[in-house]
Amino acid sequence: MARKYFGTDGIRGKVGEPPITADFLLKLGWAAGQVFANEGHDVVLVGKDTRISGYMFESALEAGLTAAGVDTHLLGPMPTPGVAYLTRTLRAQAGIVISASHNPYYDNGVKFFSVQGTKLPDEIEEKIEHYIDSPMTTVESAKLGKAKRMTDAAGRYIEFCKACIPTRFDFSGLKVVVDCAHGATYHIAPHVFSEVGAQVTVIGANPDGLNINDGYGATQPGHLVAAVLANQADIGIALDGDGDRLIMVDHKGEIVDGDEIIYIIAKAKFEIEQMSGPVVGTLMTNLGMEIALKQLGIPLLRANVGDRYVLEMMSEHQSILGGENSGHIICLDRTTTGDGIIAALQVMAEMYDKGKSLHELKSGMQKYPQILINVKIAKKTNPDDNETLQKAVRDIEQKLGDKGRVLLRASGTEPLIRVMIEGEQDALVRQYAQELADAVRQSLGA
């Protein structure tokens, strides 16, 4: 059954435009309440990032849930993985996050977690959509839900993060710069890293409702690079607006992306015989990571782009580690969803154990040059059905041999063809990518 409102990561859009409106969020809260309600008053947790629209949508969801007879515990600003953790440990019926992740402040969205702290199954989302399109009713007054603020939510999550690494790790000599993207980790990440002993400099931790992800965070690490160099720090840690994405910076100011972070964690687990199952990446995972993991004897599986698909494949193949080069990193032996703070702590623990810098740890993996070109076309088309393009792909694959990779795929949301080429030589990769992009324009019409 095709879903009308839910995408791959909840419901997201521009504030004030359907479906990201106050009246829709009211109805969504009520619809979710209808699905989650059992006998008596069940509890749903609601957390948010620091967008100014979060206040409005928090109130709307609360009203809808209350009308359905469901109790609401309001967490306030809380990273997405923090909501997942609290939903699981408090055994709430569900958790709701009001966030548009790494998007600008004028976007917002809603995503759900199950009582297990995982994304909702498709069938539950479909049930919620059924109620969204049904007339809204209100339970009798004696059965209305109640709402309360949970004042210790941040402290609970901070303690969980710290507990994910043993107390033997001593980071007292480690200089760390933490970039919170003016987002949901602003009052959490600095405490976690300082309380495990690191010397912490904080940037991007003054949210005003409008500056989330604006020039700071995992998608814009320029300020972090500058701060690491200026403070002569050992590492930089950049989180995104809702804390589920991580990009790091080494002491030389070089960016360490999600693929390199996953490789470091995988190698660490492998060496102490705690690596279980394959690593799950995506179609965009760098070929260099696949080769480096292969040398360790760790297989790599590729899921479609999106942490939802990564998690599904991880569950299917009993994997404990997966993620995307964008920085969504899932450590299933520690938590149930992507968590930037948890992933960063795993890397810091490996630096301590090996006595090596982040720069040295990442050097075991050599990233291949990777070029991505988005080609706008007249209408949505599947390039797999075009024999001319498929021949062009095969010709380039033959030239690259086993030292490169070609990916040609249609965007799922707009009339774009994504052309991606990887290989050993940057100049050749750029040449082949441009040739294939030109072939797309000629065959499908720009």
**Domain membership of residue 97 as a residue range:** 11-152
Q: Are residues 79 and 210 in the same domain?
A: no
Q: What pLDDT, on a 0 to 100 scale, did the predictor assign at position 414?
A: 73
Amino acid at 242: D
How much is the pLDDT for 39? 47
What number of residues does the chain have?
446
- 41 and 15 in a common domain: yes
Q: Does 2 map to a domain?
A: no
Instruction: Say if 158 falls within a structural domain.
Output: no
Pairing of strands 147-149, 175-179: unpaired
Residues 143 and 286 occupy one common structural domain: no
Q: For residue 3, tell me if it sits in a domain.
A: no
Q: What b/e string do you get for 33-56 counting C-beta neighbours within 10 Å, with b at 16 or more? A: bbbbbeeeebbbbbbbbbbebbeb
- Considering Cα of 213, then 77, then 175, then 266, what sign does the dihedral take? negative
d(CA 422, CA 441): 20
Provide the 3-class DSSP secondary structure of residue 419. Answer: strand
Q: Are 308 and 398 in the same domain?
A: no
Is the domain of 69 the same as that of 217? no
101 is catalytic: yes
What pTM did the predictor assign?
A: 0.93
Q: Which of 236, 272, 276 is nearest to 257 (CA)?
A: 236
Which of 348, 124, 104 is closest to 240 using CA atoms?
A: 104
- 262 near 329, Cβ under 8 Å? yes
Sheet holding 246-249, edge to edge: 199-203, 175-179, 235-239, 246-249, 255-256
Task: Classify residue 151 by burial, with Cβ atoms within 10 Å: 0-12, 13-18, 19+.
Answer: exposed
Q: Is 158 helix (H, G, I), strand (E, B) or coil?
A: helix
Rounded Cα distance between 224 and 238, Å, is: 7
**Residue 188 shares a structural domain with residue 331:** yes
Domain termination site, one of 362, 386, 419: 362
Same domain for 134 and 168:
no
Number of domains in the chain: 3
Largest CA distance in the chain: 72
Spatial distance between the Cα atoms of 226 and 409, rounded to a whole number of angstroms: 36
Q: Is residue 157 part of a domain?
A: no
The token pair that represents 124 in the structure block: 């539950």
CA nearest neighbour of 75 among 62, 63, 66 = 62
- My answer on whether 217 and 79 are in the same domain is no
The one catalytic residue among 53, 59, 99, 101: 101
The pLDDT averaged over each successive group of 10 residues in the chain (446 residues) is 81 96 98 81 92 98 97 98 97 96 96 93 91 96 96 98 94 96 98 98 98 97 98 98 97 98 98 95 94 96 91 96 96 96 98 97 95 89 90 94 90 82 94 94 83
Query: Would 5 be classed as within a structural domain?
Result: no
Q: Which of the listed residues 302, 327, 362 is the one where a domain comes to its end?
A: 362
> Omega into 18 within 30° of 0, i.e. cis?
no
Q: Domain for residue 434, yes or no?
A: yes
Strands, sheet with 404-410, edge to edge from the N-terminal-most edge strand: 370-376, 416-423, 404-410
Q: How far apart are CA 188 and CA 256, in angstroms?
A: 22
Burial code of 269-297, b = ≥16 C-beta within 10 A, e = fewer?
bbeeeebebbbbbbebbbbbbbebbeeee
Contact of 17 with 106, CB cutoff 8 Å: no
Looking at the fold, whether 199 and 105 belong to one and the same domain comes out as: no
Dist CA 151 CA 76 (whole Å): 9
CATH of the domain at 420: 3.30.310.50
Establish if 96 belongs to a structural domain: yes
- Name residues whose C-beta falls within 8 Å of residue 166's C-beta, 6 or more positions apart in sequence: none
Q: Are residues 327 and 203 in the same domain?
A: yes
Q: Supply the DSSP string of 253-304, one letter for each residue.
A: S-EE-HHHHHHHHHHHHHHTT---S-EEEETTS-HHHHHHHHHHT--EEEEP
CATH code of residue 142: 3.40.120.10
Give me the pLDDT at residue 266, please: 98
Give the number of other Cβ atoms within 10 Å of residue 310's Cβ: 26
Domain stop point among 152, 183, 214? 152
Residue 88 and residue 135 share a domain: yes
Flag whether 6 is in a domain: no
Q: Are residues 358 and 377 in the same domain?
A: no
Is 359 in contact with 229 (CB distance < 8 Å)?
no
